[in-house]
Amino acid sequence: MTDRPLRIGIIGSGFGALSVAIELTRAGHSDVRLWERADSLGGVWRDNTYPGAGCDVPSPLYSFSYAQSTRWHRRYGLQDQILEYLHDTAAAFGITPRIRFSHEVVAAAWDEETTSWTVTFGHGGTDTVDVLVPAIGQLSRPVLPAVPGIDTFEGPSFHSAEWDHSVDLTGTKVAVVGTGASAIQLVPPVAEQAAEVTLFQRSANWILPKLDGPFARWYKPMIRFERPLFWAAAEQFSRGLDDQSRVGRLNQKWAEHHLRRQVPDDALRAKLTPDYPIGCKRILFSNNYYPTLALPHVHVVTERISEVTPTGVVAADGSVHDADVIIYGTGFDAQDFLSSIDVTGRDGTKLATQWVDGAHAYLGIHAPRFPNLLISYGPNTNLGGGSIIYMLEAQARHMRQVVDRMAAGAYRRVEVTESAEAEYDRSVQDELEHSAWAHCDSWYRHRSGRITSNWPGSTHPYARRTRTLEPGAFTWA
């Protein structure tokens, strides 16, 4: 090991990347650089600009513990303010000047000789670091549905994460495909503008109300006191995602009540009632989605889409739905973790090959055969409730310990042992068998059937587990 500081490279500039960068620089690690594919920071909060975009986790909780803001306009922050918060926080902690924008990492290769990672950028250049931290999120690759004729549509069409703001929806006929967390936020504002909205719902979702509203000026200094309250509530909520949970049953009753109260029409309510127990797909939160669907110019179609034509959408029952614009709220390629980067570890092992049956990593952070690779928001670290920022901070603290130990002990490489990773994965998968997510398909599951996105249960056990470096779990050299 040389006297120079460890070179640390972080891929991305969203919440995950910033939390690692802040943690490491605050601990005194001076050679930290970030590579961002776009020309500005923010991850999903930069990309998702659809009308109504915001977070369904209260902002006092959906923010860094060490950077609490008293400026939130409302309890559930909207996209523009969350993005502003990220910009402000990156600037306040000195991270912004470390970001190299328009640097898309397309490959990363480990060199055992030099114990370093070399990353290759889309534009051809390379960079070399001692420790590599991919922090590219689980929801950065939008997916369009594999529907025949999708390319033949003659009007504008776009994905919720790639909103085309040049399209004026005023007075148009809009088809919306999908009813996930993104769609339920965008449908109400779209329906305010459009003459007609046809919503294609493949699955109904369980929806709970939001305790939303603007914060009065006098209340703002008090915002931070909400954090522990929402954290405790979210921990209970997450426990409710165990399939036998009493909290889960109460949540289902609450969701049924919300649906009954907001949708008096029996036929519409029947369409909107999920056919699976609450929690299996992500529980959604909204006060304005159901009332929008009850408007006379909004139609819910539950038939599958069989075809897109130049002028609209044809459903499986043969019904034809003309549209001027089609909006796809059809989600993301979340299962092929890190697949946008060709990652090669020791002995030429490809991460994509190692994870062909679904991604797995010790604490979601360490994969055997990939030394000095610390993954942020990796496999089994997503949540069905609560704040992902809490998980990202726990990961960042863990990574800081790894890097501290490398620096203090003059270690050149750290690698998780195969047995520690396998044992960890077994225990997580055992717990997941009892989760609500085991009962239906969702983006949490790999095509092999494994639940590879989510952490089972509440977040505190994960924070506890990541708090220290387990002796024997790693080889240090």
**Residue ranges binding ligand NAP (CB under 6 A):** 55-57, 139, 145, 147, 160, 177-183, 185, 200, 202-203, 281-282, 305, 329-332, 443
Q: Dump strand ranges (E) for 169-253.
A: 173-177, 196-200, 207-208
Q: How far is the CB of 406 from ligand NAP (least distance, A)?
A: 33
CB closer to ligand NAP, 76 vs 474: 76
Nearest distance in Å: CB 262, ligand NAP = 19
Residue 388: phi and psi, rounded to 5, are: -65, -20
Residue 221 C-beta: closest distance to ligand NAP, Å: 26
Handedness of CA 404, 405, 409, 413 (dihedral sign): negative
Q: Cβ closer to ligand NAP: 19 or 330? A: 330
Contact 42, 87 (CB under 8 A): yes
Contact 303/198 with Cβ under 8 angstroms? Answer: no
Of 389 and 420, which CB lies nearer to ligand NAP in the complex structure? 389
Q: E-strand spans in 226-372?
A: 284-285, 298-301, 305-309, 312-315, 320-322, 325-328, 342-344
Q: Give min distance, CB of 412 to ligand NAP, in A.
A: 37
Q: How far is the CB of 288 from ligand NAP (least distance, A)?
A: 13
Distance from C-alpha of 83 to C-alpha of 44, rounded to nearest angstrom: 9
23 within 8 A of 400, measured Cβ to Cβ: yes
Smaller CB distance to ligand NAP: residue 116 or 330? 330
> Which of residues 330 and 372 has its CB atom nearest to ligand NAP in the complex?
330
* Minimum CB–partner distance for residue 335 and ligand NAP (Å): 11
Nearer to ligand NAP, 5 or 149 (CB): 149
For the sheet containing 105-111, what is the strand order? Answer: 126-129, 116-121, 105-111, 342-344
Q: Which is nearer to ligand NAP, 184 or 373 (CB)?
A: 184
CB of 146 to ligand NAP, least distance (A): 7
Any idea what DSSP says for residue 66? T
How far is the C-alpha of 272 from the C-alpha of 285, rounded, in Å?
14
Q: Which amino acid is at 435?
A: S
